[in-house]
Amino acid sequence: MEKSKINEAVPPEGRPESPHRRRMLGAAGVAFAGLAASARAGAAPSGPPNSPDSGAQVTDAPQSTHTQDRVPFRGRHQAGIVTPRPTAGMIASFYVLAENRADLERLFRTLTERIAFLTQGGPQTDPDPKLPPAGSGILGPVVQPEGLTVTVSVGTSMFDERFGLEKKKPLRLNQMQRHPNDALDAALCHGDLSIQFCANTPDTNIHALRDIIKNTPDLLVLHWKQEGTVPPIPAVPGKPAESARNFLGFRDGSANPDSADDKLMDRIVWVQPGGDEPAWAVGGSYQAVRIIRNFVERWDRTPLQEQEAIMGRLKPTGAPMDGGKTEHDVPDYTKDPEGKATPMDAHIRLANPRTKASDKNLMLRRPFNYSNGVTKSGQLEMGLLFICYQANLENGFIAVQKRLDGEPLEEYIKPIGGGFFFTLPGVRDEHDWLGRSLMAA
């Protein structure tokens, strides 16, 4: 009833309301006028007008100059690890349904082919409208790459009896174990295969995920997925890029090793030839994923100095507590052996004590913030989709997490999911495919 009244009072799209039509509105028109009059009787709205001056429309798509960002797909290593982290990330974990090596190879080849297309973009055509379209179409008929990277890793369960790969398992790949503060949900843990999607927009990641699901119905079943974002900051010419902030409001990833330094990455991230790992794994990396819930309401009710003492950094700048101006300044713990400036149990000090011995525990972190709605208690379900890469999982994530076990920050965080995976070496050329070295080993 109400709806039809409104519809009548609104002139058809794009056509100016004629006086004749206005007369015809009759009672509805009168009611409408009355409403307008009563609104006028109240206080007139003040402040500047809200209408955009460009003539842009509400439903116009947001504009971006980055839709054609392309990250090369082929290389010694998979993209999406030392690639600078874009705004949107996602980890999807799958069960692999392949029952034999031929099917597994078909899976790897299909993934290679789809990822090569999705990351570089291009048209998707549908010659027969009687058939379902080839893709979801959510990016339009020409797929924009949007800086997409798709990174494929395998879980320890891929090395069970199914494919005869038992003896090929990377030495340090095991199922993620529970740490004392964890409350792991089986529905959010582990998996045969993880795929990390990163792009300028979440829609690009979703498009890629849906494409892969559509192209592998008999090979993959989705187990769990978690999306996340990183807030962009203004680009300031001449100033070093800043580290992004997590949902606790602190800069995250400040102490990350320089991902543009190939030699450093070879040492910290990539499995190297000549070590104890199987030869097929050279060029790959261990991926640790943790879904870490943050109790943000409680955190926001914690005194600032306590937050800073727990993290070991100043909140506004990210600078360490013993001096310095930015998050890039390095704390000197040798001058603070009793933890007077930076508490001994501060998060950053436990995670990286910056000793000679702890140098081998470095890893490359690539986390995203996640937000999933509301808990049963009416609190925000949000936190960190922690992702890190390292050449040695035991020396990297596992050692660091053991040092962190029992840290004061635990009162505010709860790891609920994730898993350990091994990121396959890169696809070298057009004849190569993901997993080829593993299958040939």
Partner 1 sequence: MTVQFRRHFLATFVAGFAGLCALGAKAAVSPLELVGPISDYKIYVAENVRKLAADTRAFTAAVKAGDIEKAKKLYAPTRTSYERIEPVAELFNDLDKAIDSRADDHEKAEKDPAFGGFHRIEYGLWVQKNTKELNPVADKLLADVLELQKRLGALTFPPEKVVGGAAVLMEEVAATKISGEENRYSHTDLWDFQSNFEGAFKIVELLRPLVVKENKAFSDKTDANFKVVFDTLAKYRTADGGFETYSKLTERDRKLLAGRVNTLAEDLSKLRGMLGLN
Instruction: Find the shortest distance in angstroms from Cβ 207 to partner 1.
Output: 17
Q: DSSP H helical segments within 42-151, as ranges?
A: 101-120
Of the pair 218, 261, the CB lying nearest partner 1 is at 218
Q: What is the DSSP string of 361-429?
A: G--EE--EEEEEEE-TTS-EEEEEEEEEEES-TIIIIIHHHHHHTT-GGGGGEEEEEEEEEEEPPP--S
Of the pair 157, 181, the CB lying nearest partner 1 is at 157
Q: What are φ and ψ of residue 96, in 5° steps? A: -95, 125
Of the pair 1, 186, the CB lying nearest partner 1 is at 186
Of the pair 16, 132, the CB lying nearest partner 1 is at 132
Of the pair 100, 379, the CB lying nearest partner 1 is at 100
Those residues whose C-beta lies under 8 Å from the C-beta of residue 126, and which sit 6 or more positions away, are 133, 134
User: Per-residue b/e over 244-255, b at no fewer than 16 CB within 10 Å?
Assistant: bbbbbebbbbbb
Amino acid (1-letter code) at residue 116: A
Instruction: Find the shortest distance in angstroms from Cβ 130 to partner 1.
Output: 3
Of the pair 83, 136, the CB lying nearest partner 1 is at 136
Q: Which spans of this chain sit near partner 1 (rule: CB under 8 A)?
A: 95, 97, 128, 130-132, 214, 217-221
Instruction: Find the shortest distance in angstroms from Cβ 223 to partner 1.
Output: 9
Q: CA neighbours within 13 Å on the CB side: how many for 229?
A: 12
The span from the CA of 320 to the CA of 204, in Å, is: 36
Those residues whose C-beta lies under 8 Å from the C-beta of residue 55, and which sit 6 or more positions away, are none
Instruction: Find the shortest distance in angstroms from Cβ 132 to partner 1.
Output: 5
The span from the CA of 205 to the CA of 118, in Å, is: 10
Determine the angle formed by the axes of helices 2-9 and 26-41, rounding to 10 degrees.
Answer: 90
Instruction: Find the shortest distance in angstroms from Cβ 24 to partner 1.
Output: 29
Of the pair 95, 117, the CB lying nearest partner 1 is at 95
Instruction: Find the shortest distance in angstroms from Cβ 95 to partner 1.
Output: 5
Instruction: Find the shortest distance in angstroms from Cβ 216 to partner 1.
Output: 9
